[in-house]
Amino acid sequence: MQVLIVEPMKAPYVKDIDEGLESMQHEVGGYIEAHYPFEDEVAIICNEEGKLDGLELNRALRGDDGEIYDIIAGTFMVVGLTEENFGSLTLEQIATYTEKYRVPEMFLMRGGQIMAIPVSVMQYEPTQKSDYEEVRNGYRLVVRRDDDPIDPRKFDDNFGKLVCFDRYWSGDNHGFKDKDAFLMDRLVAHFDNEKKAEAFWDKMEQEYLCDPEKVRDDHILEEISKDHVILPVYMYRHSGDTVSTEPFSDPWDSGQIGWIYADRASVVAQFGDMNDVTIPLAKQLLENEVSTWNDYIMGENYSYDLVNEKTGEVVDGGFWTGDIESLKAFAFNSAPMPDKQTPVKDGDTR
């Protein structure tokens, strides 16, 4: 039979369900209770124990004076009435009660009275051409390329600090004039003493005076790594830019442009400790952040909507930096799952 489903904080939608008790119990998630608040040949079927079970408040029931006399908790149905049982709604009834319950409601107490506050529902309006669409399990994923993306290093709550010295890409807003200023800053943080940091720097310069500067830097990084997790960041520039924590095979068009790091306090805050178990986890997180930054640099930036096919409601959406396959996995996995069948007790006639 054709009924109208009304869920909390959602627009109503039409659904074909099987006739009988089990099907109705399944839709409302428990034993059913019928209300007949209208002169029209319809009934409201809801969960008998919705309030006792703490289900989310849904829509108000009002008297002829418009005053609220009850609130339905949990999902309910509007069904038609036949001479002997519940049945399908007519097209006119569907239109009437879709409009009646079109706007979700929130409830609060004020001056000893319950007030219902209308809440707007975002509906999908296909005003722009999509670059990709796919439907799964009743949800449509609509993806568009974001031509004006925001650098994830500028707004995300990142775990690591990304310090780069490329002429185009600086990573985070770090303020260091060159790599030596950055390394000295981290030495001071490591020793918690500026004079000790300067003394260690001078020692490294003297010991590796005749070696390439990188040898000195590597020994400084080795000392810093005693209480930092720090990874190099490389860039390959050829018909576009690509970054990675691993060096590229082309020595002519690639090279190191900086580092990404997390100090001990950041690692402890994220993982509870800094030890042989958490350090690899921190490294993986830093690598993931560089990978996300690389997706941004390479133009893998999208906006998306996840739309309920029946109601047109946008149940999720936002911006995504990464490939479309990972976006699909994230979006469809976050979609509400179909309700599980509610078991019916033997001999239960409610």
Mean pLDDT for 327-341 is: 75
| Nearest CA-CA partner of 160 in 142, 144, 174 | 174
Q: Answer whether 46's CB lies under 8 Å from 29's CB.
A: no
Percentage, residues of the chain above pLDDT 70:
92
- Specify whether 90 is located in the same domain as 8: yes
pLDDT of residue 216: 94
- Specify whether 114 is located in the same domain as 236: no
- Specify whether 6 is located in the same domain as 69: yes
Instruction: Pick the range with the lowest mean pLDDT from 154-168, 203-217, 281-295, 333-347.
Output: 333-347
- Specify whether 172 is located in the same domain as 288: yes
| Nearest CA-CA partner of 178 in 212, 213, 219, 222 | 213
In a domain, 80, yes or no: yes
Which of the given ranges, 132-141, 145-154, 253-262, has the highest pLDDT on average?
Answer: 253-262
In a domain, 165, yes or no: yes
- Specify whether 158 is located in the same domain as 290: yes
In a domain, 318, yes or no: no
Average pLDDT of every residue of the chain: 89
Mean pLDDT for 157-170 is: 93
Is pLDDT of 343 > 60? no
pLDDT of residue 313: 83
Residue 153 or residue 44, greater confidence = 44
- Specify whether 157 is located in the same domain as 274: yes
In a domain, 323, yes or no: no
pLDDT of residue 121: 58
- Specify whether 189 is located in the same domain as 96: no
- Specify whether 187 is located in the same domain as 288: yes
Instruction: Pick the range with the lowest mean pLDDT from 115-129, 136-150, 163-177, 277-291.
Output: 115-129
Mean pLDDT for 289-298 is: 94
- What the block records as the tokens of 108 is 């609060």
Is pLDDT of 342 > 50? no
- Specify whether 107 is located in the same domain as 180: no
Is pLDDT of 349 > 50? no
- What the block records as the tokens of 26 is 């399944």
- Specify whether 164 is located in the same domain as 109: no
Q: Answer whether 163's CB lies under 8 Å from 183's CB.
A: no
In a domain, 57, yes or no: yes
How sure is the predictor about 128, in pLDDT bands with cuts at 50, 70 and 90?
A: low
Helix (H) or strand (E) holding 236: strand 228-237
- Specify whether 101 is located in the same domain as 224: no
Residues facing 37 on adjacent strands: none
Is pLDDT of 114 > 90? no
In a domain, 234, yes or no: yes
In a domain, 237, yes or no: yes
In a domain, 23, yes or no: yes
CA within 13 Å, CB half, 1: 22
Tell me whether strands 42-47 and 57-62 are parallel, antiparallel or unpaired. unpaired
Give the range of the structural domain holding residue 177, as residue numbers without chain letter: 152-297
Among 273, 297, 321, the domain-final residue is 297
How sure is the predictor about 66, in pLDDT bands with cuts at 50, 70 and 90?
A: confident
Is pLDDT of 348 > 70? no
- Specify whether 209 is located in the same domain as 99: no
Tell me whether strands 57-62 and 13-16 are parallel, antiparallel or unpaired. unpaired
How sure is the predictor about 253, in pLDDT bands with cuts at 50, 70 and 90?
A: very high
How sure is the predictor about 339, in pLDDT bands with cuts at 50, 70 and 90?
A: very low
